């Protein structure tokens, strides 16, 4: 029994040596706000490694008009990487803009990480409206608010890939968009995407492979069409299901390209506004993938 206890102690020692570091707290002024985080010092490199809670707060007040601005970022680190739920909030009440107008609105962003990789729910909700000051009967008064603009996005990441149903809308869009991804982050379903004065009708099967690609002009006439024969789609499907080896698929003379879907969808930009992050705040391991698809075609042999 004593030998077993000694063995367990030897096995567990490296773990406790790495993770039982005494956490310290750093508080500093940053970008007119205050940043606080916990950290430990790496015994080998002497670098400060963020571990535990992180918080940034910034509050401003317009001395002339009394408007307010409040930004908050909260989250946790694990061995220098973002881990768990991170929340960003921005609240403006009649805060001045460069053009002389004033903004009232809110922005809330939730991001979920696992050791620096996007994993879990990412959700954005933002709305704002503006007004100006005008003279009424010789006195400077508030004008009425203009249109309320809304922006939102919601998706679920698995190992940095957007999956499931994703809905998003930009401030300048009249309606929202909805797209679907399989568990590996590939587009699936039927869509009509605008392209200049034309529309692209495109279908992705359950593996994210394009099975239909038709371009129509504003009158509905076909201006371009890709032919995908049944053999091409069937062989590609068998390969993706693991029913064909690499050598067998190579003999079929089919080329498959994995393409980022940002030529059709652009919701990733909604999660990446500069003011969501602090320039010196690191902790992301990977670049998030906001969609991809597979384009298969027969290899054209040349003489």
Task: Tell me if 231 sits within 8 A of 254, measured CB to CB.
Answer: no
Task: Tell me if 50 sits within 8 A of 77, measured CB to CB.
Answer: yes
* 224-243: burial string, b at 16+ Cβ within 10 Å, e else: eeeebeeebbebbbebbeee
* Residue 106 and residue 217 in one domain: no
Q: How far apart, in whole angstroms, are the C-alpha atoms of residue 301 and residue 292?
A: 27
* Residue 53 and residue 140 in one domain: yes
State the CB neighbour count (10 A cutoff) for residue 186: 23
Domain presence at residue 169: no
* Residue 208 and residue 293 in one domain: yes
Asked which of 119, 147, 175 is the last residue of a domain, the reply is 147
Mean pLDDT of 3-16: 47
Domain presence at residue 201: yes
Q: What range does the domain containing 142 cover? A: 22-147
Kindly indicate the confidence band of residue 1, based on its pLDDT and cuts at 50, 70 and 90. Answer: low
Kindly indicate the confidence band of residue 276, based on its pLDDT and cuts at 50, 70 and 90. Answer: confident
Q: pLDDT tens digits, residue range 256-272?
A: 999 999 989 989 989 98
pTM score, whole prediction = 0.85
Query: Chain-centre distance of CA 122, in angstroms?
Result: 7
Q: What does each C-alpha distance from 55 to 7, 30, 47, 105, 164 come to in angstroms?
A: 41, 12, 20, 22, 31
* Residue 135 and residue 211 in one domain: no
* Residue 117 and residue 29 in one domain: yes
Domain presence at residue 17: no
Domain presence at residue 175: no
Domain presence at residue 5: no
Domain presence at residue 202: yes
Q: pLDDT tens digits, residue range 68-102?
A: 999 999 999 999 999 999 999 999 999 999 999 99
Q: What does each C-alpha distance from 221 to 196, 210, 211, 214 come to in angstroms?
A: 15, 21, 20, 10
Asked which of 98, 119, 147 is the last residue of a domain, the reply is 147
Total of domains in the chain: 2
Domain presence at residue 158: no
* 105-142: burial string, b at 16+ Cβ within 10 Å, e else: bebbbbbbbbebbbbeebbbebebebeebeeeeeeeee
* Residue 62 and residue 134 in one domain: yes
Domain presence at residue 160: no
* Residue 133 and residue 211 in one domain: no
Q: pLDDT tens digits, residue range 101-124?
A: 999 999 999 999 999 999 999 999
For the chain, counts of helices (H) and of strands (E) = 3, 19
* Residue 121 and residue 194 in one domain: no
């Amino acid at each position: 029994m004593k030998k077993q206890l000694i063995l367990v102690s030897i096995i567990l020692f490296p773990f406790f040596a790495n993770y039982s570091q005494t956490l310290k707290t750093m508080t500093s002024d940053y970008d007119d706000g205050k940043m606080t985080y916990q950290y430990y010092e790496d015994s080998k490199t002497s670098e400060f490694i963020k571990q535990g809670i992180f918080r940034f707060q910034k509050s401003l007040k317009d001395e002339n008009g009394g408007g307010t601005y409040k930004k908050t970022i909260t989250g946790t680190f694990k061995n220098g990487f973002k881990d768990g739920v991170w929340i960003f909030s921005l609240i403006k009440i009649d805060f001045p803009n460069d053009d002389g107008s004033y903004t009232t609105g809110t922005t809330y962003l939730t991001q979920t990480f696992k050791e620096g990789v996007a994993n879990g729910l990412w959700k954005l909700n933002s709305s704002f409206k503006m007004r100006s000051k005008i003279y009424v009967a010789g006195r400077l008064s508030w004008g009425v608010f203009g249109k309320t603009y809304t922006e939102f996005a919601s998706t679920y990441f698995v190992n940095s890939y957007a999956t499931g149903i994703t809905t998003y809308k930009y401030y300048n869009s009249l309606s929202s968009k909805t797209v679907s991804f399989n568990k590996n982050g590939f587009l699936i379903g039927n869509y009509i995407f605008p392209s200049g004065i034309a529309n692209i009708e495109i279908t992705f099967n359950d593996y994210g492979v394009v099975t239909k690609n038709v371009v129509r002009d504003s009158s509905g006439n076909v201006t371009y069409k890709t032919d995908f024969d049944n053999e091409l789609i069937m062989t590609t499907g068998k390969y993706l299901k693991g029913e064909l080896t690499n050598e067998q698929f190579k003999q079929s003379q089919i080329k498959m390209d994995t393409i980022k879907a940002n030529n059709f969808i652009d919701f990733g930009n909604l999660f990446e506004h500069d003011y969501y992050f602090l320039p010196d705040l690191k902790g992301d391991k990977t670049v998030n993938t906001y969609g991809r698809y597979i384009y298969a075609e027969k290899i054209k042999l040349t003489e």
